[in-house]
Amino acid sequence: MTATQDSHDEVPAPERAPVLEAGPGPGEDAYSASDEEEIAARLEALGYLE
């Protein structure tokens, strides 16, 4: 087995690699609690979240 193959084998499989997710980190929310209520109400009015 070559060095290159050894290195390649050490790359974590996609399932085990950290998954890059969009979304807020701690304390990064753009919305206040009342904002979230307002958004939820708007989405529910259009049939989402039901």
Partner 1 sequence: MRRLGRERGAQRRRVFVLGLDGTPHSWLRTETAAGRLPNLAALFRSSSVVPMRSSLPSVSSTAWTTFLTGRDPGGHGLFGFMDCRPASHELYFPNLQHVTVPTIWDALGARGKRSVLLNVPGTYPARPIPGVLVSGFVAPSLDRSVHPPRLLARLKAMGYRIDLDNWAARGGFEALETDLFTTFERRAEAIRMLLAEEPWDLFVTVLTETDRLYHFLWNTMAAGDERAVDLFHRFHARVDELAGWLFDTLPDGTELIALSDHGFAAERTDVFTNAWLRERGYLAFDTSEPKGLAAISPASTVYSLDPGRFYVNRSGRRPRGSVPPERAGEVVERLVRDLADLRDPATGELAYGRLLRREDAYHGPFAPAGPDVVLTLRPGYELKGSSAARSVFGPPGDGLGGMHAADDAFLCVRGATLRDGPYDLHDLAPTILELLGVEPEGLQGRSVLAPAAVGATVGAVEVGR
Q: Check binding of 10 to partner 1 (CB under 8 A).
A: no
What is the rounded CA–CA span in Å between residue 41 and residue 32?
14
Q: Check binding of 47 to partner 1 (CB under 8 A).
A: yes
What is the rounded CA–CA span in Å between residue 21 and residue 49?
21
Nearer to partner 1, 8 or 37 (CB): 37
Nearer to partner 1, 9 or 15 (CB): 15
What is the rounded CA–CA span in Å between residue 21 and residue 25?
10
Q: Give residues in contact with partner 1 (CB under 8 A).
A: 13-17, 19-25, 28-31, 34-36, 38-43, 45-50
